[in-house]
Structures are given as C-alpha cells and as structure tokens.
Amino acid sequence: MRIFNRIVLILLLAGLFVLGVFTVLYAFDIAGYDLADLPNALGLRDFYDGLQAFVGDVESRDLNVLNLTTLVVIALLGLVLLILELKPPAPRRVRMQQGTYITRSAVRAEATAAADQNPEVLQSDVSVKAQRRSGARVDIRGSVRPGEDTRSIRSEVQEGVQRRLAQSGVPLSNLKVRIVESDPRQTQTRVR
C-alpha cells in the first residue's frame, strides 16, 4: 500500500509543480498572457468552469446527494490512505532478544533443514515472517507420499523444528505445519 500512496503523492506533487511553474510564468507576464487566460492555455476551460460552479454550490450549501456522497467518499479514502501510510512497515529481521536480530533467510534455512531431516518429508516450503515482538512466525508446508500417516509426521516435523530453532536461539511466536500428500515425481527434491 505504501507504493500506491507514494505514486499518488508523486503525481500530486508533480501536478502542483506544473501548476506552480505556469502560475509564475503568467504572474510575471513571461509568457505574454494574463493569469485569467491560464485555464484556456492549459485546455481546462470546461473543467475550470465546472470547478467554479461546484465551489459556488459548496459555498451556498446547495449540494445534491451525489456530490455530497462523492465528497464523503473522497474524505474517507484520504483518511484510509493516511492511516496506511503512517502504519509502521513490517520488520525485515527477526528479533531474538533485546537488541539481537537475525535475518528471515537464516531462520528459513534452519527451519527447512529441520523439516527435511524427517525421512518421510519429500519437500518442504517454509515461509518466515518477522514480527514486532521477539520471535518469528514460521509456516511450513511439507510434502509426503500418499498413504503416509500425516498426523504423526506433522507432530515429528513440528517438534524437530521447535528443537532446532531453540538450539539456535531463535524464539518462535507461531509455528504452523501442514503436511500434504503429493506424488513423489512432482516434488522438486530427489525422492529418498
């Protein structure tokens, strides 16, 4: 959402810059035109007349329901974009202890190695998200052969990952393990 907000802000500032340049050119009579001719020179005479009529309706409190609804939607959209822009970004590193951090890729490598230690797991996909508090949120999706006992494999993988990350000193705030049955020929790793 930050990228969208920045694009909108860049376009708004670019528009204000262009408007400022034209205003300076017309205010000092550099271009040879009057300031009243600015809407005509920009090809915005219809827009300018419509905006002038709209502002006149707002001043006289003579708005119809559509215009009032449009103004409320614009105000709410601006409020939502402002809140999303002020929201702090998600952390990029996992906090281990007070002042100690580790990268998400290092946590992912440790969790992948722990999940792949189980001989029934053919392939594991690990997703790591850093949180504002200490610890990482780790989601593991393991692939096993059809007919395997997925519950026992899930608990073994979960215990193995917790043990390995605890030995490494990486605290876990949330660990989710999903075991799915898949054809061994469709996994990326070599069949064991």
**What is the pTM for the complete model shown?**
0.57
Establish if 33 belongs to a structural domain: yes
User: What's the mean pLDDT when you consider all of the chain?
Assistant: 81
Determine the pLDDT at residue 21: 75
Question: Are residues 97 and 144 part of one domain?
Answer: yes
Tens digits of residue pLDDT in 131-171: 888 888 899 998 888 888 888 888 998 899 889 888 888 88
Question: Are residues 119 and 48 part of one domain?
Answer: no
Question: Are residues 79 and 140 part of one domain?
Answer: no
Establish if 26 belongs to a structural domain: yes
Q: Find the helix or strand (DSSP H, E) in which 100 lies.
A: strand 100-103
Tens digits of residue pLDDT in 66-120: 877 887 888 888 788 778 777 777 788 888 877 788 888 888 998 889 888 888 8
Question: Are residues 37 and 77 part of one domain?
Answer: yes
Establish if 192 belongs to a structural domain: no
* Domain CATH number, residue 110: 3.30.70.1350
Number of helical H runs and strand E runs in the chain: 6, 5
Quick one: which of 106, 75, 102, 80 has its CA closest to 91? 102
Strand 100-103 to 123-130 pairing: unpaired
Determine the pLDDT at residue 135: 83
Question: Are residues 176 and 97 part of one domain?
Answer: yes
Q: Are 8 and 81 in contact (CB under 8 A)?
A: yes
Determine the pLDDT at residue 62: 78
Total tally of structural domains belonging to the chain: 2
Determine the pLDDT at residue 139: 93
Reported as a pLDDT band with limits 50, 70 and 90, residue 28 is low
Establish if 133 belongs to a structural domain: yes
The domain boundary residue, chosen from 63, 86, 109: 86
Establish if 191 belongs to a structural domain: no
Instruction: Quote the domain boundaries for residue 118.
Output: 93-186
Question: Are residues 71 and 110 part of one domain?
Answer: no
Question: Are residues 108 and 77 part of one domain?
Answer: no
Establish if 160 belongs to a structural domain: yes
The domain boundary residue, chosen from 59, 86, 113: 86
Establish if 79 belongs to a structural domain: yes
Phi and psi at 60, nearest 5°, equal: -90, 5
Question: Are residues 165 and 103 part of one domain?
Answer: yes
Determine the pLDDT at residue 12: 83
